[in-house]
Chain A
Amino acid sequence: MVKNIVEAKDLCKNFGKIRALDHLNAIFPKGICGLIGPNGSGKTTFIHILVGLVKPDSGKAYVLGHDSQKDSLKIRRRIGVLLEDESFPQNLSVYEYLRYVSKIKGYSIRKTIRICKEVGLYEYLDRKIKTLSAGMFKMLGLVQALIGDPELVILDEPTANLDPLKRKRLLNYIQRVHREKKVNFLISSHVLPELEEICNWAVFIYKGKAIDQGYLKDLYVKYSTGIYEIISDKPKVLAEYLKSFKSIDIVEEKDDVLRIKVKNYSELKNALSKALAEKSIQIISFRPLGGLREVFSRAVEKYSEVIN
């Protein structure tokens, strides 16, 4: 049993004079992991190396314990991939193409059609791929990635071109597949709020380097400004309860959102646990102010300070 679904050791890749990956070291444990970074930070190059499309200049990458360069075919038999600029044969119908992919992956077309029903692609099965909207095109890529019950699904910018409704539906579906089928996900995106909703682990990538990585809750603590946003079912009761703690200051109460400043994170954690137990308050969301975007910015700032 492999502990980490993906591992990168000292990966370097140059495209001419452009350094896409600069001694990248990263690990992705089981679960839903996020690869976070701005455009041009090397996310797609990293994914291409994992899939075997691009060869690194130096370093190694392991996917499900296999060397990404030596065992590329073995890896591709066990994973599903949705690439950022995915393309499909335009003149085929959705059904024809999915039947072809199912055959390659040795998967029943009936099961594939079931996936289509789940993601809302069923009505489009007879349509030519070239007539699909950008959103449906993305869904087709997702279905293709999920064919064959993969152990790991790599998604590169999966929500690009999707409207908010479809985006929400896709994220919910990813969570459901992870929960029910124990499929691991590695999702690359620069749209951080959506990753924040579903990921438990994140790797921050910047200028081809992994500048930090860890469980989201730990990264929140590490880069927090001390101000947190809490959404609960009883915000007023919670606010009253938290006022009793000396190290916690209520900064703002607005609708369901409670903004608090805290000096000691572990005290806040204890306080919330007690609130949960004693007052039956349900915490819907808990994150530092600005969320993952702010955490990432602070990580980049800190990294820049160290470099300079």
Chain B
Amino acid sequence: MPRPQTLPARPVATRATRGLWGDALRRLLRNGPALVGLFFIAVFVAAAVLAPVIAPFDPLAGKLVDRLQPPNAVHLLGTDLQGRDELSRILYGAQVSLVVGVVSVLMALGMGGVVGAAAGAAGGRLDNVLMRVVDVLLAIPGILLAIGIVAWLDRGLPQIMLAVAATNAPIFARLLRASLLANRDVDYVTAARSIGASKMRILLRHMLPNSLTSLIVAATLALATAIIDVAGLGFLGLGPPDPRTAEWGTMLTDATQFLRQAPYLIFFPGVAIVISAIGFNLLGDGLRESLDPRLRR
């Protein structure tokens, strides 16, 4: 039977074909605060990547005669106690924060993702056991857990990454499990099950992609706290093992004795931490709004 051709093709389909991610991206690019966040992140990433090119001095070497100079034409952000250029140290410090922050959040996503997926998909006894372990980890205040792990495994960048990851992993695990559970009995999962798709296929192809949005938002916001936690560990004297390393938190600890003479040594690393944290917080909020337009006010 020939199809009735009475309705002209209308461009209604174009919106639908863009899909969730295309739509989300469009909304994100129209979200002012999120764009500001992206700009801050771009500055932060550029500082980290370009540090070897744009840093005017060696971040590790300084002349004692140049020490504690306030900002001036040669040393734009001044010098520290050992005469090292503060601007160069802040630029190189971005490398530590960026690498440790990103790697620790990825590790947390990996650990939390596996545990959350196993618990959410398997249910029953395994779910119960895994969630009790998560409860135990969540019962220890985050920074104490991180301090404990670094103290236990000794100081070092991989240890710091693991410590920061361990504070986020249980949160991700619980989040993923909850959204998998919410997805267990929806129609498309029932449909996939009824056509005989394997459990693994249902989990990987149908349930996980639909649970990812909340995880992506949480991971972006976790990047902000990861950068703060890394600096916090450094501030408590649990930063990178080499005390000369340019790391924002360690730089702040070193500067606390000179609060009176050299407040700029507190101010500039502080601003660097705050700008990168604001960037990820704004982007995270923007992502949340664009991935779930119902939240938009």
> Are A and B genuine complex partners?
no
| Chain B residues near A (Cβ < 8 Å) | none
Binding site for B on A (CB under 8 A): none
